[in-house]
């Protein structure tokens, strides 16, 4: 069996790719600018050129088993990217087929949160765990659900959009999806910044966050303020963690995971976020599930995580490619 996979993480700004071996070691990696190429053909030419450089340099020609791609709104079943607002190309885009033909290697794709879950299951904190829910707390909130060792794709390939469960039925915040009250409008990095602006505008008590121009406040600023002992900053994390914990208690009645695995920038807020989250989750938990769900943090090194997650899917690429060619 060929010893390597190529992982490709297509982000709105950068596309990171790397050669990964079966134990999850990133042999080599590099990146190109996603936004620079308005035609997908030009982007693919550049990706091919740059990827071949590291493949050649590492004596990996003919040794790549499959290519795994994580990308926004990428569909595992169809191999298409559909309606991705942050990417510069026309959609629907048959990315699996196009990349597979260019490289002559089988390709499997899925969305970024699902890729993260597969990466965690293959190389990270979820090794040996058959039932878990990965929650990615980044610019938005994404999720990858694993049941009985299998990623849940749903009948159409789009399952696992837990950032879009409604947590505020009335007067909820407007979400990018067009609805109101979605989890990600509260518990993403952006959501934390929105909460900060809301608190600062509607309250009068002191906060070192008031030293910053209100429109520029980020979740990192709120974290730094909390570390410095700022009361409002801590309350912002209490509010965020409580909403997340309440939502997780509802997720528990669905698939009864053994663990929730948190990933992404906001997951690094430590106990400021985790303490209120755990408390709200257990307080709102159906009695039969109390004390059962572990809270784990991703064990993938941040710099490698996106590539590792995508690459893990490369090991599943065979069947898709057989259909594609």
Residue 228 or 286 having the CB closest to a copy of itself: 286
286 binds a copy of itself (CB under 8 A): yes
Q: Which of 22, 26, 166, 208 binds a copy of itself (CB under 8 A)?
A: 166
CA dist 111 → 92, 183, 202 (Å): 14, 18, 37
Question: By the 8 A CB rule, do 70 and 111 touch?
Answer: yes
Pair 18, 78: CB distance under 8 Å:
no
> DSSP for 23-52?
T--EEEEEEEEGGG-SSHHHHHHHHHHHHH
Residue ranges of alpha helices (H) inside 111-188 are: 112-123, 184-187
Q: Is 46 exposed, middle or buried (0-12, 13-18, 19+ CB in 10 A)?
A: middle
- Give the whole-angstrom CA distance, residue 309 versus residue 312: 5
Q: How far is the CB of 258 from a copy of itself (least distance, A)?
A: 4
Question: Of 48 and 153, which has the nearer Cβ to a copy of itself?
Answer: 153
Q: Which is nearer to a copy of itself, 10 or 175 (CB)?
A: 175
Nearer to a copy of itself, 8 or 183 (CB): 183
**Residue 302 DSSP code:** H
Q: Which stretch binds a copy of itself (CB under 8 A): 92-100, 154-162, 187-195, 206-214?
A: 154-162
Q: Of residues 30-89, which lie at the interface with a copy of itself (CB under 8 A)?
A: 73, 82-83
Q: Quick one: which segment of 165-173, 269-277, 303-311, 312-320 binds a copy of itself (CB under 8 A)?
A: 165-173
Binding positions for a copy of itself, 205-264, rule CB under 8 A: 246, 249-251, 253-258
Which one of 29-37, 47-55, 177-185, 268-276 is the stretch in contact with a copy of itself (CB under 8 A)?
177-185
Subset of 289-308 contacting a copy of itself (CB under 8 A) = 289, 292
CB 281 within 8 A of CB 293: yes
In whole angstroms, how close is the CB of 71 to a copy of itself at the nearest point?
15
Q: Rounded to an integer, what distance in angstroms lies between the CA atom of residue 296 and that of residue 260?
A: 6
Stretch that binds a copy of itself, among 33-41, 100-108, 159-167, 198-206 (CB under 8 A): 159-167
Those residues whose C-beta lies under 8 Å from the C-beta of residue 60, and which sit 6 or more positions away, are: 4, 19, 27, 54
Query: CA-to-CA distance for 126 and 143, rounded, in angstroms?
Result: 14
Cβ-based nearer residue to a copy of itself, 73 or 298 = 73
In the block, tokens 């993260």 appear at: 116
Q: What is the contact surface with a copy of itself in residues (CB under 8 A)?
A: 73, 82-83, 130-131, 145, 147-148, 150, 152-162, 164-169, 177-179, 246, 249-251, 253-258, 284, 286-289, 292
């Amino acid at each position: 069996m060929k010893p390597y996979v190529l992982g490709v993480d297509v982000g709105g700004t950068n596309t990171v790719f790397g050669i990964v071996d079966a134990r999850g070691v990133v042999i080599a990696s590099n990146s190109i600018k996603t936004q620079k190429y308005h035609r997908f053909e030009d982007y693919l030419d550049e990706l091919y050129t740059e990827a071949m450089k590291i493949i050649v340099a590492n004596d990996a020609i003919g040794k790549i088993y499959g290519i795994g791609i994580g990308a926004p709104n990428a569909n595992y079943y169809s191999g298409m990217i559909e309606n991705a607002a942050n990417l510069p190309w026309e959609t629907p885009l048959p990315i699996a087929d196009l990349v597979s033909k260019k490289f002559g290697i089988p390709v499997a794709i899925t969305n970024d949160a699902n890729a993260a879950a597969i990466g965690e299951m293959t190389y990270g904190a979820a090794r040996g765990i058959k039932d878990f829910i990965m929650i990615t707390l980044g610019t938005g909130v994404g999720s990858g659900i694993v049941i009985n060792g299998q990623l849940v794709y749903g009948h159409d390939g789009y399952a696992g959009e837990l950032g879009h469960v409604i947590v505020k039925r009335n007067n909820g915040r407007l979400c990018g999806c067009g609805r109101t009250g979605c989890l990600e409008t509260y518990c993403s990095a952006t959501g934390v910044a929105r909460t900060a602006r809301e608190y600062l505008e509607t309250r009068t008590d002191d906060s070192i966050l008031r030293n910053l121009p209100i429109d520029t406040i980020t979740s990192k600023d709120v974290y730094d303020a909390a570390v410095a002992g700022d009361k409002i900053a801590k309350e912002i994390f209490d509010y965020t963690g409580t909403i997340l914990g309440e939502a997780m208690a509802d997720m528990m009645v669905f698939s009864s995971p053994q663990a929730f695995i948190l990933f992404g920038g906001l997951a690094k807020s430590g106990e400021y976020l985790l303490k209120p989250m755990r408390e709200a989750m257990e307080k709102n938990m159906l009695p039969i599930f109390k004390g059962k769900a572990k809270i784990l943090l991703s064990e993938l090194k941040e710099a490698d995580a996106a590539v590792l997650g995508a690459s893990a899917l490369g090991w599943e690429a065979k069947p898709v490619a057989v259909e594609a060619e």
